Chain A
Amino acid sequence: MNSLVLKLLVQRIALGLLLIFLVSIMIFLGTQILPGDVAQSILGQTATPESLANLREELGLNVPPLERYLNWLGGVMHGDLGTSLTNGRDIGASIADRLGNTLFLAMWAAIISVPLAITLGLVSVLYRGRWPDKLISAVTLSAISVPEFMMSYILMYYVAVQLGWAPSVAMLNDRMSLLDKLHAISLPVAVLVMVVLAHMMRMTRAALLNVMQSAYIETAELKGLRRASVIWRHAFPNSIAPIVNVVMLNMAYLVVGVVVVEVVFVYPGMGQYLVDHVAKRDVPVVQACGLIFAAVYIFLNMFADIVSILANPRLRHPK
């Protein structure tokens, strides 16, 4: 590793941290200084002046915004995410388990979708313009056109209710074995796989096709190599960097897709927790969850950039 790569990496990581800091400001501004009064919108139009004053006090709305933000940020830095307005519990403790569950779900979706997407991408480039390519393209296009929650219900209707192969709600508890847990989450994982698979496969295909236009591919073809080995030996190694980038971007997308899928399958994760508390207008919980989701998203994007810096041979051997 040389100093140029190191410099780029340090820059990218610093940018990521700066982004997270700025995003925390955005999320704070988004919930605090919008037109209208947070306390008023939580309690509704029928609130009495006394209860409004109490809630303002509890939310710390009487303190200037800058000080409130610094208090909040200071708390977050120490791992203190505040307490929920609706049940008075510590948010950090409630989130810990749920974050684990959400990551469990997203991890299995990633384990299944990544190899599948790359294989399908290779297949569709191999059979470019013929029926396997067109079939894959048509199926993925329709998968993109249906929102996650509708795909979930279609699967739930046919697989869980009509065929009875999988449970229609994904409940988890500590006494379940890993196999039981996997069976419980099979449908939500299937939905997430379908959603990211479509994007990931199309982007993999595009990345490969891009490499296929290079001069060395033409050379390989003119040497008389079979099409499969041209793709596997020459095109694929050179498109690893863009593909890894694609994978990371889709993992970031997965983090958002999880929110809706969790609500559909009543899965005890972060997404459901967030949506529940948005409806209850529980601002501290929404801020904490929003920040965590955004941070995960930013980290995954940052990781994608780091991989592409490391995978770029031109940067390893500066002139």
Chain B
Amino acid sequence: MKRLPLPTLIGLFITGLFLFTAIFAPLIAPFGVSEVVGDVWEPASAEHWLGTDNIGRDLLSRMIWGGQTTIFVAIAATVVSFVTGSVLGLFAAVVGGWLDQLMSRFVDLIMAIPTLIFALVVLSVMPVTIPVLILVMGLLDSTRVFRLSRAVASDIAVMEYVESARLRGEGRAWVIFREILPNALSPLVAEAGMRFIFMVLFVSTLSFLGLGVQPPAADWGGIVKENKDGIVYGIPAALLPAVAIAALAISVNLVADWVLDRTSSLKGGRNA
């Protein structure tokens, strides 16, 4: 294993820091998530490092708790998206025929509707809870994973070793999970980084519109919504989540770029 390039190290470090803060939020956050501890929009002080929010809650604590919610929802939605998208995509590539056509055309149809618009349409009749959010975001996004994994798997499915596995009489599940999946994994892992960032932006946007994570739970999009009125009085509280999201997005991108570089130079080989 070669030494990691500097941008990747920085990316890994910042991503790790965010994950660490999210996991240990209860130990790190100085105050509770909806604990009112001071006046409205207090400036930064020794006690409240980032000041307080629109109803006097500690902003640093809100940011930490909010990060936990945002990152958790984004990871869960990415997992839903990946499991659904890649299993169906690999299946479609291996089976082929009319079933593949049917699934591919259905995915084309879903992708003809802008994701945010479709999510809004669905959320207008569903109760807005975290499991529903995760499912809606994950399933809508799985269309992209489906396309990618189907494309990658179609290339692999015609390789000799897959053919020989078929001729040996292996079942469909073996071909998908033991022959194709390990070789399709690298591009999918790189894509996972991109999907995760997209999910962070997506859930933040929904929460900002008031249709995502519901108060009093905190999440980064919601913190912007709560504090946006301060902007006109020159209070920058609403800008903090923007910094957090940008830092997370850029650092995950740096790591994903490295994964992509590494895999494209390996040309699908393992243990190189």
Closest CB-CB distance, A148 to chain B, in whole Å? 8
Judged by a CB distance under 8 angstroms, whether A95 is at the interface is no
Known: A153-B238, A157-B231. Is A23-B117 also a contact (CB below 8 A)? no
> Chain B interface (Cβ within 8 Å of chain A)?
109-110, 112-118, 120-127, 197, 201, 204-205, 208-211, 221, 224, 228, 231-234, 236, 238-239, 241-242, 245-246, 249-250, 253
Closest CB-CB distance, A298 to chain B, in whole Å? 6
Closest CB-CB distance, A248 to chain B, in whole Å? 14
| Chain A, range 274-308, C-beta contacts under 8 Å to B | 274-275, 277-279, 281-283, 286-287, 290, 293-294, 297-298, 301
Number of interface residues of A (CB under 8 A): 53
Judged by a CB distance under 8 angstroms, whether A19 is at the interface is yes
* B208 and A260 contact, CB distance less than 8 A: yes
Per the bound structure, the CA–CA distance linking A208 and B105 in Å amounts to 31
Closest to B200 in A: A147
* B211 and A279 contact, CB distance less than 8 A: yes
Judged by a CB distance under 8 angstroms, whether A145 is at the interface is yes
Known: A145-B245, A146-B246, A279-B211. Is A161-B117 also a contact (CB below 8 A)? no
Per the bound structure, the CA–CA distance linking A278 and B122 in Å amounts to 9
Known: A141-B250, A149-B205, A161-B234. Is A19-B112 also a contact (CB below 8 A)? yes
- Specify which of A19, A32, A147, A279 is in contact with B205 (CB 8 Å cutoff): A147
* B116 and A286 contact, CB distance less than 8 A: no
Judged by a CB distance under 8 angstroms, whether A112 is at the interface is no
> Chain A interface (Cβ within 8 Å of chain B)?
19, 22-23, 26-27, 30-32, 34, 36, 38, 41-42, 141-142, 145-151, 153-154, 156-157, 160-162, 168, 252, 255-256, 259-260, 263-264, 274-275, 277-279, 281-283, 286-287, 290, 293-294, 297-298, 301
Per the bound structure, the CA–CA distance linking A32 and B124 in Å amounts to 10
* B209 and A260 contact, CB distance less than 8 A: yes
Main secondary structure of the interface of A (DSSP, over half): helix
- Specify which of A23, A259, A301 is in contact with B116 (CB 8 Å cutoff): A259
Give the residues in chain B near A256, CB-CB below 8 Å.
114-117
CB-based A-B contact count at 8 angstroms: 151
Give the residues in chain A near B211, CB-CB below 8 Å.
275, 278-279
Per the bound structure, the CA–CA distance linking A36 and B127 in Å amounts to 9
Per the bound structure, the CA–CA distance linking A141 and B251 in Å amounts to 12
Closest to B123 in A: A278
Known: A27-B121, A275-B209, A287-B121. Is A34-B126 also a contact (CB below 8 A)? yes
Give the residues in chain A near B118, CB-CB below 8 Å.
26-27, 30, 290, 294
Closest to A259 in B: B116
* A146 and B231 contact, CB distance less than 8 A: no
Give the residues in chain A near B208, CB-CB below 8 Å.
147, 149, 260, 263
Per the bound structure, the CA–CA distance linking A111 and B199 in Å amounts to 30
* A34 and B125 contact, CB distance less than 8 A: yes
* A22 and B109 contact, CB distance less than 8 A: yes
* B110 and A145 contact, CB distance less than 8 A: no
Closest CB-CB distance, A280 to chain B, in whole Å? 9
- Specify which of A38, A141, A153, A281 is in contact with B231 (CB 8 Å cutoff): A153
* B109 and A19 contact, CB distance less than 8 A: yes
Closest to B105 in A: A22
* B197 and A145 contact, CB distance less than 8 A: yes
Known: A36-B127, A157-B231. Is A147-B121 also a contact (CB below 8 A)? no
Could you pull out 14 A-B pairs where Cβ atoms are within 8 angstroms? A23-B109, A23-B112, A30-B121, A36-B125, A36-B126, A147-B242, A149-B204, A168-B231, A168-B232, A278-B209, A290-B113, A297-B112, A297-B113, A298-B112
* B121 and A259 contact, CB distance less than 8 A: no
Known: A259-B117, A286-B121. Is A154-B110 also a contact (CB below 8 A)? no
